[in-house]
Structure 1
Amino acid sequence: VQEAIEDGLVIEETGPRAQRNLLQTPVLLKGIEDNQFDAAFGGARRDEERARAKERVFSFRDDFGQWDPKNQRPELWNLYNGRVKKGENVRVFPLSNWTELDVWQYIADEEIELPPIYFAHDREVFERDGMLYAASEHVALIDGETPFRASVRYRTVGDMSCTGAVRSTAADLGSVVAEIARTKITERGETRADDRVTEAAMEDRKRVGYF
């Protein structure tokens, strides 16, 4: 994204609520076009967000990279149609039917090492619109916002300008699994500001090429 900004392909937003999330789409579409990819793999899951719930494992995109939820192929009996015409592509989501809890249980069972940001740690944060953001020189504060220290962890890691942390004391795999099993809010619903812009924010982004 930074290279695309420097090359003039995209224009970076400014202001306290600026984010780079939307800038990823033209960069992604250019990469697919330049390399003539027929498929691009992603780790999205249906339980993340309502637009994701409409997603197929093989998510068809037209020659403009656009997603039309009404123009997706049936996947009966786990049979997938990967045929595409020149310029078209599919986004493939192998973990589509997994849940966040499935992922964490798999990580625990396989004893996979993860970065500490996914576990409870002490961090300077500030609250905005009910979310906890990391205090940083890259995110401008709005009047009335005051950084403070709290025990938090990240359920998902993305652009820090639109990704929030959650209060947590879960410092190991077992504790995180137990915490996820109790939660009633999806990870994106609790921690992603870009999904709160409108009721259809994710679907709108996907319609123009977002992963």
Structure 2
Amino acid sequence: LYDFTPSEPGELAFKKNDIIAVLESVYKDWWKGSLRGQTGIFPLNYVEKLQDATKEELERDAQMESEVFGEVRSVEKLLALLSVEGGSGRRGEREEDEIAELYQRTLSIRPKLVELIGKYSQKKDDFTQLNEKFIKARRDYEALLESSMSQPQQYQQYPMRHHQSSYQLPQQQQQPPYGGQIPPAGYPPQGPPSAGYQPYSAPNVPQQQDPQRYFSPGPSSEQP
């Protein structure tokens, strides 16, 4: 509706008939938007909301684009005729009439071309800014993902090192015989060697039979 000149940092400057892409509502009467690659806040009483394009408006824009692109060949032909001169330095009457006709046709599409340039320029700025936000969001997400993947690896390494140092097995030692003590150094486990004495051998004692492994019958009850 009106021109707006910022008075504080972070405000968005715009002129009448500019189309601002609204990003979010910041304050009660202030919104945040983007225009021509710039982002900032602006007052609501300086702008009005655009209604969605109707079917008729969309058809009108499509028709206008078709007319503009349909005259591309006329513009190219006009440029070709203007760049070629006759042998005498003057063009014939027929050529002059054709050039005048082509020139008038190109003039008729000039306002439409300017309008389309304005629309596409605004869309280009909006898409460019949206692409920059997408790139930043992708980088932040990749950094967050990399950070979350590296933290569990560090967490698992420390307990493994602590486990190895805290539960290290002692060196294996020779266990003393049951009921005895560890022999002094230089002696085998069975005691000091005998100095010239014959080993004592016990007398042969008949091996006692295990009563549990044999059966002895009692006296017979039959009379002789």
Q: Which of the pair is proportionally richer in helix?
A: 2
Which of structures 1 and 2 has the larger relative contact order (alpha carbons within 8 angstroms, sep 6+)?
1
Identify the structure with the greater strand proportion.
Answer: 1
TM-score greater than 0.5 by the shorter chain:
no
Q: What TM-score bracket applies, with the shorter chain setting the length?
A: under 0.3
Bigger radius of gyration, 1 or 2?
A: 2
